[in-house]
Structure 1
Amino acid sequence: MASLRRIAVATSSAIIRLTSFVFLRWIPGHHFVPLVVTSLLVYLSSIFSLLKDTQPHQSQTTKARGSNRHKSGPSRAKAGDSVVNTLLTGLPSARWPLWTRITILINVALAVLTLDFLTRGVLLHSTTDVTFSRVGYVSPTTANLVFREPDSARLPVTVMFQEVSEMSQDWHEEGIVYKLDNTTDFTTTVTLTDLTPATHYRYALSNNKSGTFTTAPSPETPEAKRLSFVTSSCLKPNFPYNILSHPLRVPGLEQMTDALAKLPKLLRPAFMLFLGDFIYIDVPWRFGSSMEHYRSEYRRIYSSPSWNHRPEGNRAIDLPWLHTLDDHEIQNDWSQGNKTAPYPAAADPFIHYHVRANPPIPQAPFAHPDNVTYFAFAQGPASFFMLDTRTYRTEPSHQNSTIIGHPQLQSLLTYISTPEPAGVHWKIISSSVPFTKNWHVGTTDTWGGFLDERRTVFEAMWRAERDLGIRIVMLSGDRHEFGATRFPDPELNLGPDQLLPNTAGLGLHEFSVGPLSMFYLPVRTYHQRDSEDVMVKYAPNGNSKFGLIDIADEVEDIGSTAAAPVRARSSVLTYSLYVDGEVVWKYRLSVPLDRDTSLHGPSLPPGRVVEDDIPDLSWSVVLGTVVGRLPELTKRFVEMVNDLFFQLADRLRKIERLD
Structure 2
Amino acid sequence: MAASLAVASSAFSTLYRILAYAFLEVAPQSHLKYVLPVLYVAYVAASHYGAPAFSEFVAVKEESVTIAEKTETNGDVVADVVVSETTAIVPVVESPTLKSALATVLFSIPSPVRALRRANLAINTLLLFAAAEFIFFPYFDTASDVVFTRVGALYPDSAKIVVRYPSTNATENLVRVIWRQADDKTDSDAPWREGPVANLTAQHDWVQTVRLQGLWPTTHYEYRFQDINSTVLPYPSTPIRFHTAPDPRLHSGSYYRFIATSCMTPNFPYSPLGGRRLKGMDLLADYLWPSRPAAASVAVAQNVSETAHNTSAENITAPAAVNTTSSVESVAPTEFMVFLGDFIYADVPAYFGDDKEAYQRLYRRNYNSPSFRKVYERLPIIHTYDDHEIINNYAGQGNASLPPFENATNAFELYNTEANYDSVDEGQYYYDFRYGDAAFFVMDTRKYRSDIFSDDPATHTMLGDKQLTALYNWLGKVNNTAVFKFVVSSVPFTALWTYEGVIDTWAAFPYEKSALLSAFQSVPNLIVLSGDRHEFAAIEFESGDSGHNVLEISTSPLSMFYVPFIRTLKPRSEEVVNKTREEVVLLEDGTQEVIKHVDEIPRENVIRYIAEGNYKWASLEVDTRDYSHPVVRVEIMIDGKPAYHLEVVGKPVKLQSTTSLGALVPQSFKGVLDRIGLKPNKWF
- TM range, smaller chain: 0.7 to 0.9
CA distance in 1, matches of 2:61, 2:460: 75
Change (3 A) 1:211 1:50: same
Closer/same/farther in 2, CA of residues 574 and 478 from structure 1, 3 Å limit: same
Counterpart of 2:356 in structure 1 is 291
* Residue pair 2:366, 2:372 contacting (<8 A) in 1 also: no
With over 3 angstroms needed to count, the CA separation of the structure-2 counterparts of 1:234 and 1:289, relative to structure 1, is same
Residue 666 (structure 2) aligns with: none
Residue aligning to 2:401? 339
Residue type of the alignment partner of 2:568? T
Q: d(CA) in 2 for partners of 1:29 and 1:111?
A: 15
Task: Say if 1:516 and 1:543, in contact at 8 Å, map to a contact too.
Answer: yes
Say if 2:505 is the partner of 1:446: yes
One-letter amino acid of the structure 1 residue matched with residue 606 of structure 2: M
Q: 1:68 to 1:26 in 2, by over 3 A?
A: farther
- What amino acid does structure 1 have at the position aligned with 2:553? F
Q: 1:304 aligns with which of 336, 344, 369?
A: 369
In structure 2, runs of 5+ residues without a counterpart are 64-85, 227-232, 291-296, 298-328, 575-601, 655-684
- Please tell me whether the aligned partners of residues 257 and 316 of structure 1 are also in contact (alpha carbons under 8 angstroms): no
Residue 162 of structure 2, aligned match among 146, 171, 174: 146
Do residues 525 (structure 1) and 554 (structure 2) align?
A: no
Aligned to 1:579: 638
1:455/1:238 Cα in 2 relative to 1: closer, same or farther (>3 Å)? Answer: same
| 1:329 and 2:373 aligned | no
Cα 1:203–1:265, aligned 2, differ >3 Å: closer, same or farther? farther
Distance 1:213 1:173 in 2: 17
What's the counterpart of residue 23 of structure 1? 23
Bigger shift: residues 579-588 or 249-258: 579-588
1:105 aligns with 2:122: yes
1:222–1:266 Cα change, 3 Å? farther
Equivalent AA in structure 1 for residue 647 of structure 2: R
1:32 to partner: Cα distance = 1.6
User: Unmatched 5+ residue regions in structure 1?
Assistant: 310-314, 494-505, 556-567, 596-659
Structure 2 counterpart of 1:201, from 221, 232, 236: 221
Q: Is 1:241–2:270 an aligned residue pair?
A: yes
The structural deviation recorded for 1:6 is 2.6
For 1:105 and 1:75, how far apart are their aligned partners in 2? 23
The 5 Å alignment of 1:194-233 reads: 194-206=214-226, 207=233, 208-209=235-236, 210-221=239-250, 224-233=253-262
Aligned pair 1:191/2:211, yes or no?
yes
Distance 2:251 2:465 in 1: 39
How far apart, CA to CA, are the structure 1 residues paired with 2:429 and 2:532?
Answer: 18
Provide the residue aligned with 1:490 in structure 2.
544
Q: CA RMSD in A?
A: 3.1
For residue 419 of structure 2, what is the aligned residue in structure 1? 357
The DSSP-based 3-state class of the residue aligned with 1:347 is: helix
- Across the two proteins, how many residue pairs are aligned to each other? 543
Return the match for 2:624 from 550, 553, 556. 553
Larger radius of gyration between Structure 1 and Structure 2: 2
C-alpha distance in 2, partners of 1:83/1:33?
A: 30
Which residue number in structure 2 is paired with residue 634 of structure 1?
A: none
Q: Which moved more, 1:294-303 or 1:215-224?
A: 215-224
Greater share of residues in strand: 2
User: What SS class does the counterpart of residue 155 from structure 1 fall into?
Assistant: strand
Q: Are the equivalent residues in 1 in contact too, given 2:262–2:557 (CA < 8 A)?
A: yes
Which residue in the other structure is 2:431 paired with? 375
Query: What is the alpha-carbon distance in structure 1 between the residues aligned to residue 559 and residue 103 of structure 2?
Result: 38
1:185-217: CA deviation from partner (whole Å, max 9, x where unpaired): 111111011112111111101232341111111
Deviations 1:206-230 (A, max 9, x none): 2323411111111244765223211
C-alpha distance in 2 between matches for 1:122 and 1:102? 31
Query: Displacement of 1:30 after TM fit?
Result: 0.8
Once the 2 structures are TM-superposed, how far is the Cα of residue 412 of structure 1 from its aligned partner? 0.9
Aligned to 1:471: 525
One-letter identity of the residue aligned with 2:377? I
Distance in 2 of aligned mates of 1:576 and 1:190 = 33
Which has the higher relative contact order, 1 or 2, with Cα contacts under 8 A spaced 6 or more apart? 2
Measure the CA separation in 1 of the matches of 2:540 and 2:2: 58
* Residues in 1 aligned to 2:101 and 2:615: alpha-carbon distance in whole angstroms: 39
State the partner residue of 1:250. Answer: 278
Q: Is the 8 A contact 1:47 1:91 kept in 2?
A: no
Compared CA separation, residues 272 and 2, structure 1 to 2 (3 A): same
- 1:44, CA displacement in angstroms? 0.8
Distance 1:574 1:409 in 2: 29
Measure the CA separation in 1 of the matches of 2:7 and 2:514: 56
Distance of aligned partners of 1:404 and 1:320 in 2 relative to their CA distance in 1, 3 Å threshold: same
* TM-score calculated relative to the size of structure 1: 0.77
Residue from 81, 85, 92 that aligns with 1:73: 92
Map of 1:46 onto structure 2: 46
How far apart in 1 are the matches of 2:20 and 2:341?
27
Aligned-residue offset at 1:554: 5.5
For the residues of structure 2 that align with 1:61 and 1:385, how far apart are their CA atoms?
A: 85
Q: Which runs of 4+ in 1 moved over 4 A?
A: 1-4, 60-64, 67-72, 74-77, 263-266, 419-422
Equivalent-residue separation in structure 2 for 1:489 and 1:222 (angstroms) = 29
TM-score (norm 2): 0.74
- CA 1:593–1:92: 2 relative to 1, 3 Å: closer
Tell me if structure 2 keeps the 8 A contact 1:481–1:514: yes
Distance 1:63 1:438, change over 3 A: farther
Q: 2:490 aligns with which of 410, 432, 436?
A: 432
1:70: Cα distance to partner? Answer: 12
Measured in 2, the distance between the counterparts of 1:203 and 1:278 equals 26
Q: What residue in structure 1 maps to residue 13 of structure 2?
A: 13
In structure 2, C-alpha distance between the alignment counterparts of 1:89 and 1:62, rounded to whole Å: 35
Q: Does 2:178 correspond to 1:157?
A: no
Q: Distance in 2 between the 1:392 and 1:384 partners? A: 20
Greater helix share, 1 or 2?
A: 1
> Does 2:551 match 1:509?
yes
Q: Quote how far apart the aligned CAs of 1:156 are.
A: 2.4
Query: How far off is 1:54 after superposition?
Result: 9.3
1:488–1:61 distance in 2 versus 1, CA, 3 Å? farther
User: Structure 1, residues 343-389: CA drift from partner, whole Å, max 9, x if none?
Assistant: 11101011111111101113xx4xxx23x110011110111100000
The 5 Å alignment of 1:506-655 reads 507-522=549-564, 523-527=566-570, 528-530=572-574, 531-553=602-624, 569-593=628-652
Give the 3-state SS of the residue equivalent to 1:180 in structure 2: strand
Q: Distance in 1 between matches of 2:155 and 2:244?
A: 6
**1:650 corresponding residue in structure 2:** none
Separation in 2 of the partners of 1:113 and 1:48? 23
Q: Write the distance in 1 (CA, Å) between the matches of 2:408 and 2:93.
A: 64
Who is 1:280 aligned against?
A: 345
Tell whether 2:475 aligns with 1:416: yes
Find the counterpart in structure 1 of residue 658 from structure 2.
Answer: none
C-alpha separation in 1, matches of 2:545 and 2:511: 19
Alpha-carbon contact 1:50-1:92 (below 8 Å) kept = no
